Amino acid sequence: MATEYAVIAGGCFWCTEAVFKDVIGVESVESGYTGGARPNPTYEQVCSGATGHAEAIRIGFDPAQVSYGDLLDISFATHDPTQLNRQGNDIGTQYRSAIFPANPEQEAEAIAAIARAQEGLSDPVVTTIEPLKEWYAAEGYHQDYWEGAGQRNGYCMAVIPPKLQKLRKSFANRVKSS
């Protein structure tokens, strides 16, 4: 079966990338930018909030091993979908919680995943479903960040391990490592 792609945003892409690289059936995770207006934005431009882009990840996955809905459920479990335009100390529209479906089937799954996520939360889920626009890969130093520079980044050391623990606890049968 051919690789399918999911594009999601849930705060800092270093953090979301680290989570999804550990999921069975995920073949690739690329950090990048989507949802904005400026062509070929740089990290600095996106961080300014002026381009309208979200820090997002594009997940290549084998649908025979992990479904699009499962990926969305993992996303909701490993970030706070009730925070508008932020995740923790990361504030701005570039850190929004968003799903960028590639087709009507993914859009239907996104609507269902938001409803599932809302069931366990008292605050409203603010995750948006946005049209999938042009995808721009982030600069090379952002790719595979957790495996390299992220290990020396205090922010990542504070934020990523709890996300990975939550993934391994809530989705133990879905992770590559334990």
In contact, 126 and 84? CB cutoff 8 Å: yes
Q: Give the predicted TM-score (pTM) of the model.
A: 0.95
The CATH code belonging to domain 4-174 is 3.30.1060.10
pLDDT of residue 178: 55
In contact, 135 and 6? CB cutoff 8 Å: no
pLDDT at 25 over 80: yes
Confirm whether 12 is a catalytic residue. Answer: yes
pLDDT at 123 over 60: yes
DSSP state, 172? G
For every residue of 94-144, which 3-state class applies, written as one string? HHCEEECCCCHHHHHHHHHHHHHHHHCCCCCCCCEECCCCCCEECCHHHCC
CA distances to 20, 21, 47, 148 from 13, rounded to whole Å, are 11, 12, 12, 14
pLDDT, average across residues 49-67: 97
CA distances to 69, 170, 172 from 65, rounded to whole Å, are 12, 17, 14
pLDDT tens track for 145-164: 999 999 999 999 999 999 99
Catalytic residue (one of 12, 15, 47, 156) = 12
Residue carrying the six token digits 């089937």: 105
